[in-house]
Each structure stands twice: as C-alpha cells, then as structure tokens.
Structure 1
Amino acid sequence: MPPIKTALLAYGLSGKFFHAPFLAANEGFELYAVLERNNQKAKHDFPDVKSFASLEELLVDESIELVVVNTPNNTHFELAKQCLLAKKHILLEKPATATPEEFLELIELAKSVNKQLLVYQNRRWSSDICAAKEIIKSGKLGEIIEVHLRFDRYRPTISAKGFKENELPGSGILYDLGSHLIDQAISIFGKPKKYSIQKGMYRNGTMVDDYAFVHLLFENQVNAFITVSMHVLDIQPGIVIHGTKGSFIKEFCDEQENQLMAGMPPNHPDFGLELKNKEGKLTYIDKNNHTIVERIPSQKGNFNGLFKDVYECIRNDKPFSVCHEEILEQLTILNTK
C-alpha cells in the first residue's frame, strides 16, 4: 500500500510538534503539504514539503488523501466541512467542533462523501493515563468510587493568542484542556449518566474561563472529578483514584510533549519513556488483609498509536479508537451553559 499523502492546515505548535514528526517518521504516511499563507516555516524542517498559500489551492490537489485540521478551535467546523466536500479524509484536532450539532453535521457529510472523519485525542495514548487504565483493569482497587483528573498550569496573565483569549466558539480552558480529561474519563467508563459543571474567570480582564470543574457520574456510582486551572502554582497529582480496596496516585508526567519540543523524533528508542522517580503509588489490601504499597512504572507513552489507528482506518477500513459517539458526548458536556 502506498503511504497516505497528508497535508497540514497549520504549522504552529500543533503542526510542528504534534503532527509533522509522526507523519514524517511513520512509513504509512507522507508529509506532503502544509498550508502556510505567509512564512514557509515547514520547509526549514522538511525541505521536500509542498507549501500552499490558500486552502482552495491545497484542496484541488488530488494526490492529497488526508488533511489534518489543526487550526484554532473556532475554525474547525467550517474548514472540516470544506475538506470533506473536497473528498478528503480528515484528522480533526480536539475539540472537534464547538457544538455537538456541528459535529453531527460533519458525521453525515463524511458518510455522504465516503470519507473518514477522525478526531485527534492524543492523550488517550499518554503514559500516565495508560498506567491508570491498567491499574483499574487489574482489580486491585476493587470497585472504583472516585477518579480525580487534573490539568494544572500557572498562567495568571492574559496570553497574546487571541483565538484562545477572545470570546469565540470553543475558547476557554474547559474546551482547551478539559476536552482531554473528559475524553479520558469517557474512554475508560463510557457515557456518564449525569454531570455538572462549574466555570470561573479569575484573571484580570479575561473574556474566557480560566478555571473549570466537572463532575461526571457513571454506571456503578463511579464519580469522575475533573479540574482544569490556570491558577495552580503548586502542581497537584494529575490522577488520583480511590476504590473499595485501594488507591492509586500519579502525576501527569507523560514526557512525549517535552521530548518532541526538544527535537526527539518519535522513532527514537527513548521516545515515550517517563523520567525516573515518576512511578505511580498503588496502595491496596491483598487477600490476606495486608496493606501493600507498590511503585508502578508506566509503559511508554505512544502518541504514534493514534497515527497507526488513522492508517488502519483509512487503508484497511478498521474502526478508529476514538468513536463518534464518544466525541458527541464530550461536546455535549463542553457545550453545557
């Protein structure tokens, strides 16, 4: 099978670090083109890449099979629609759209043109959340009662990125970071039975939420508490799980983002390895009623697993790991007023 010729719609942080390195390293893809209206930065890193000055020009290139829509959140729906109408498969950055209604329209459009609509939720392949999933599956925690997922930052001032700071569809920390954590919870526990949301705006002059708390209630009385904040100077553990027989605590310490920004390619043997002394702490009661404490190392983080799934979906028509129903549920929660 020939590699999938792929185009990026932007070459900012997302394109440069979270997409291009994987497309270049994975033999199933060819990083063929980038949409760059002004500076042609991609050519500095990938001299053979084709540069387009307009989306219209890019979409008429029939050799392009897959388009990565990695533009600001408020543009996702319209750009994805244009790409599908041009009969391209699309990999759509999270949050997929601002509303579930927009995503439903894209689902129907993708079906009508017989193309794949795939959503990029790369943090399902983070080392830390994968470790948590394995601990839950092991049964050592007993029946799960509560799961706390946090994404903390300390950024008390307004950034220069207008698309993130202005009151636009899909803006604010809940859409930006909460979409990761809500997706992780849904990927583990399924569709929540009910949920509640609290958002706050604490920075001087902010027009968007910079704090959010979500409570998801799943089957079997499993509670997931999700917190995203721009106001945490002392970063807290990203994963805390309590069950009837034990607890698991772990930092959000996946190293893939740091490695990519340091220039490590995804096919490097050390890519995805966590730093030393970042193991999770598992405390549980064994069958002899003894309290056991273990340090649990993570497996490698593997964002490349997402791209392998994209390839299998497009070339071999296999189901994609991130299904449309899960994205619709996520967007319904994010869109709650």
Structure 2
Amino acid sequence: MTHIQFTPFTAPIRVAVIGYGLAGRVFHAPLVAGVPGLELACICSSKPEAVQKDWPQVRVVPTPEAAFADPAIDLVVIATSNASHHALARAALLAGKHVVVDKPCTVTLAETEDLLAVARQQNRVLTVYQNRRFDGDFLLLQQVLASGKLGRITHFESHFDRFRHVVPGKWREQDIPGSDLWLDLGAHLVDQALQLFGVPDDLSLDVARQRENTQTNDYFHAQLRYGSSHPGLRVVLHASSCVTSSGPRFAVHGTGGSFTKFGLDTQEDALKAGGRPQLGALGDWGADPLTGQLVHHAAAGLVTEATPDVAGNYLQYYAGLRDYLQGKAAAAPVTPQQVYQVMAMLGRGEQSVKKAAFVPTGDLR
C-alpha cells in the first residue's frame, strides 16, 4: 500500500461522530472524549435531544454533509449501519477529512478498495475501528504466546458466543446487506487471528440461521489452515447467538502446553452502563475478574499456573490514531493493508459458503 503524506496536527484534532446509535453512543463518543489531543466537536444525529443529554457541550448536526462541510472538523468517525459506510466514508474523504470507519469497513471488498484508493488520492487516513485488539484477554493471550511456554502453536480456537434468543427489531437482525454475523463479529475474530498468525493458506466457512424468526445468519464456524509459516496450525473462529453456557473465549494448544481463557472483556458492558474512561486516569478500567489458565511442560513435568490480569484499554486505539495524525507514530493502529486483508478474508469466507469448500487465501499476504 502506498504511504500517504499529510501535514501532522499540532493543535487538538477536532472529531465528528456520524451516527448516535450503539456504535456512536457507546464505542466512539466516550472514547474520543477520553483521549487528550482529541476533541469531540460534533455529533450527527436525528435525535439531538439524546445527544445533548449526554454531551451538552457538543454541537449536533442533522446531516453528515453538515459535518463534512465544516472546515473545523479534522477527523470523521463513521458509526452508522454497515451498508452506509462506503458512501459516507467516501464523501468524508473527498471533503478532505481523515476517516475512521466502524468495522466492517464496508459490505464488499470492492467498496473497501475504492475507499482505500480515494484515501490515497486525497492523502487522507482511512482506518477501521478494531477495538478488540485492546481486549484484556487478547492482550493477555499475546503475552502468553510471546513467553514461548506453549511451544509451536498447533491449534487455536476463538469463540464469541452469546445468548440472544429473542430477535430484536434492529438493522443488524434484518435481511439487508451488511447484517450478517460473519461481517459483524467475524470482522473482530478474523482481525485478531491475522494479528496473531498472519494470513492463512485457505479457509472454509459455515453459516446458519438458528433462531426462530431470524432474518439473517446468527451462527458461523470458520476454519483457517496454515502451512509453511505455522506448520500444522489449525485455527477455528466461531460465534453463535444460541449459547447459554459459553466455553472458553480462547483455547490455544501447542507443542509445549495449553492456554484457556473464559469470559468476555468487561469494557463493552462498562461503556453501555455509561462509563467514560479517561486516558491517564483509568483506575480499574478494563480489569478482568477471570484469570486464564496456562498448563505447560517443565523439567518436573506439567505445570499449571494462573495467568496475571491484563487490563483492556479501548482508548489505546484512539490514542494510537492521535499519535499517527500528530506525526509521532509510524502507522495508524489499523493500517491500509490490514483494512484490506480483513475485508478480503471476509469476502473469501462468503465465497466458501457458496462453494461449500475451502477457498485459497495465501495470495492476500
């Protein structure tokens, strides 16, 4: 991917959040406001009273175009329904704004490729919000892998199971482009797998509609196969909406030991409850009440040990982006190549469903 050139910011970076549903209200506005050097300057919403109740000092505009046309806005966050991402991000880039898009970047790889091309032409940043890189359990997993205690990794499972037996009447649950669970949670799990192991040789994907009256896929099971880069490694990515008693969030096995971790990162629930973390004053933010278990081979035989608590910190995504825009970091937290690879992997998964077979992915490296 071609490196873009832009003038680094020296003053606070003024941010507009487009959309004030779950993504904008819970995941973006509080995090932008919690990072020094970023200013939550504008929110686009059709319900200004809801915004003003939460953020009385922030200007509310009724249309995205009003935010894009504002010369004072530097960075735009697209936090709307998936099918709208392409058109809104494209318009923001053409208006000269840097852009964060909530995952998935777009509904199709072709749309993502178009946005990346426009960003290069405009010398503007296009990046995707991958907050699950900053889950406490994922940060812990990276530490465990780096320790070498598991040896060469042979099997990795990542589950994101929930129990949502009643189908809500929201856009994510409707039969419309971009509502598939594979595009939703799959975007997180694919990104994490790529961060850990890189691009696999091939993948297969199975999807299903399991709940009564569901209009879109609410289950997926993906298998990623690795060859020379990780001999014999098999990766399973799985999500379901019909699981009342979840198994491990992560289960990792290698030639030297195994690691298991139960529970989900606590930050989403804390943000839904109204939490407003502040970088530099986090306290117990992101603390994980459940330890992981590491069983590994040592001279005396198998050793079992509890892993330390590693706190998650979604603020680091926006802090990293701030640093990049200020010229203090070499890359955005999610680079153009990573944006492309995740969308391409999601697309190959959809191809696998149609073919009912493994689909090659090695060319995406």
TM class, shorter-chain normalised? Answer: over 0.9
1:271 aligns with 2:282: no
Query: What's the % identity of the aligned pairs?
Result: 33
What secondary structure is seen at the aligned counterpart in 2 of 1:31?
A: strand
- Is contact 2:15-2:74 (8 Å) kept? yes
CA–CA distance in 2 between the matches of 1:56 and 1:321?
27
1:200 aligns with 2:208: yes
Amino acid of the residue matched to residue 131 of structure 2?
A: N
Runs of 5+ in structure 1 lacking a partner?
A: none
Amino acid of the residue matched to residue 100 of structure 2?
A: L
After TM superposition, the structure 1 stretch with the greater mean CA deviation from structure 2, 245-254 or 125-134, is 245-254
1:282-293 correspondence to structure 2 within 5 Å: 282-286=294-298, 288-293=299-304
1:300 aligns with 2:311: yes
- Is contact 1:187-1:326 (8 Å) kept? no
CA–CA distance in 1 between the matches of 2:301 and 2:150?
14
Pick from 88, 97, 106: which aligns with 2:97? 88
Counterpart for residue 6 of structure 2: none
Runs of 4+ in 1 over 3 A off after TM superposition: none
CA–CA distance in 2 between the matches of 1:50 and 1:228?
38
Counterpart for residue 260 of structure 2: 249
- Is contact 1:265-1:271 (8 Å) kept? no
CA–CA distance in 1 between the matches of 2:269 and 2:215?
29
Counterpart for residue 239 of structure 1: 250
Paired residues in the alignment total 333
1:327 aligns with 2:339: yes
Counterpart for residue 313 of structure 1: 324
Alpha-carbon shift at residue 263 of structure 1 (Å) = 2.7
CA–CA distance in 2 between the matches of 1:68 and 1:117?
10
Counterpart for residue 46 of structure 2: 37
Pick from 50, 53, 59: which aligns with 2:68? 59
- Is contact 1:40-1:51 (8 Å) kept? no
Counterpart for residue 4 of structure 1: 13
Alpha-carbon shift at residue 333 of structure 1 (Å) = 2.5
Counterpart for residue 230 of structure 1: 241
Counterpart for residue 216 of structure 1: 224
User: What is the Cα-based RMSD across aligned positions, in Å?
Assistant: 1.3
Pick from 221, 237, 261: which aligns with 2:272? 261
Runs of 5+ in structure 2 lacking a partner?
A: 1-9, 352-365
Counterpart for residue 17 of structure 1: 26
User: In 2 relative to 1, CA 31–255 (structure 1 residues): closer, same or farther, beyond 3 Å?
Assistant: same
Alpha-carbon shift at residue 289 of structure 1 (Å) = 4.5
CA–CA distance in 1 between the matches of 2:108 and 2:274?
35
What secondary structure is seen at the aligned counterpart in 2 of 1:301?
A: coil
Amino acid of the residue matched to residue 160 of structure 1?
A: G
CA–CA distance in 2 between the matches of 1:216 and 1:67?
34
Alpha-carbon shift at residue 89 of structure 1 (Å) = 0.4
CA–CA distance in 2 between the matches of 1:257 and 1:188?
22
After superposition, what is the alpha-carbon deviation per residue over 1:42-64, rounded to whole angstroms, capped at 9, x for unaligned? 21121110110112222111000
After superposition, what is the alpha-carbon deviation per residue over 1:280-316, rounded to whole angstroms, capped at 9, x for unaligned? 0000001x15110000023210111101111012121
Counterpart for residue 362 of structure 2: none
CA–CA distance in 2 between the matches of 1:24 and 1:254?
21
CA–CA distance in 2 between the matches of 1:118 and 1:328?
10
- Is contact 1:239-1:252 (8 Å) kept? no
Alpha-carbon shift at residue 86 of structure 1 (Å) = 0.7
Counterpart for residue 26 of structure 1: 35
1:184 aligns with 2:192: yes
Alpha-carbon shift at residue 270 of structure 1 (Å) = 1.4
After superposition, what is the alpha-carbon deviation per residue over 1:75-123, rounded to whole angstroms, capped at 9, x for unaligned? 1111111111111100110011111111111011001111100110000
What secondary structure is seen at the aligned counterpart in 2 of 1:226?
A: strand
CA–CA distance in 2 between the matches of 1:134 and 1:123?
15
CA–CA distance in 2 between the matches of 1:13 and 1:52?
18
Alpha-carbon shift at residue 128 of structure 1 (Å) = 0.2
TM-score of the superposed pair, with normalisation by structure 2: 0.88
After TM superposition, the structure 1 stretch with the greater mean CA deviation from structure 2, 264-273 or 175-184, is 264-273
CA–CA distance in 2 between the matches of 1:252 and 1:73?
27
